[in-house]
Copies of this chain bind each other. A is one copy, B any other.
Amino acid sequence: MAATRESRVRHTRDDVLAMALRLLRECGLPELSMRALARELDVQPSALYWHFASKQLLLAGVAEEILSPMNALDENADAAAVATVFRDAMLSVTDGAEVVVSTVALGLGADRAFERLRDALIREHHEFDRATSIATTLLHYCIGHTSHEQQRAQALRLGVELEDSPIMANKDSFLDGLHRILHSPQSSA
């Protein structure tokens, strides 16, 4: 009866990544299982392991996709703009911050963001060591703030009843902390 429909398509690494990102956007990280991803690609789960050695490495690929706006960044953007693009990129995908967090430690996701941040600071006439220090602080701040903000927003969307907390995490509080760090005085040592 011959291959029905589009059944005999073969996929590239990028196809897999694109579908993973789609699943993430539409359903969130808990639904992004290797098995669900395989189902969506009309393939056996084991097929994914030809493209990625593990789920962790697949997620690292997804994190890079999420942070791809960091590549298309204006050369002259200032540090505040870079940080804002970083935050926006993570917020643009369901559980984006969590995916990025799970890969920073591997040195796979956030390095470009860090470099963009540091370069912007150097352009703003900070010396190298100071730019490095501020960029490091900024990066950790952005990740902490944004993951909090996104988790809270999504818990609300899922109807989880939250204790109301005095800790704010929205655009205003983000900018507030951002400027606080940017306007800190020289070195601390």
Contact = CB atoms under 8 A, between A and B. Distances in A.
B105 A137 contact: no
A167 B108 CA distance: 11
A105 B188 contact: no
A180 B106 contact: no
A93 interface: no
Contacts of A132: 166
Contacts of A151: 101-102, 104-105
Nearest to A118: B166
Q: How large is the interface on A (under 10, 10 to 19, 20 to 34, 35 or more residues)?
A: 35 or more
A105 B141 contact: no
Contacts of A188: 175-176, 179-180, 183
A165 B111 contact: yes
B177 A137 contact: yes
A9 interface: no
A189 interface: yes
B141 A106 contact: no
A148 B104 contact: yes
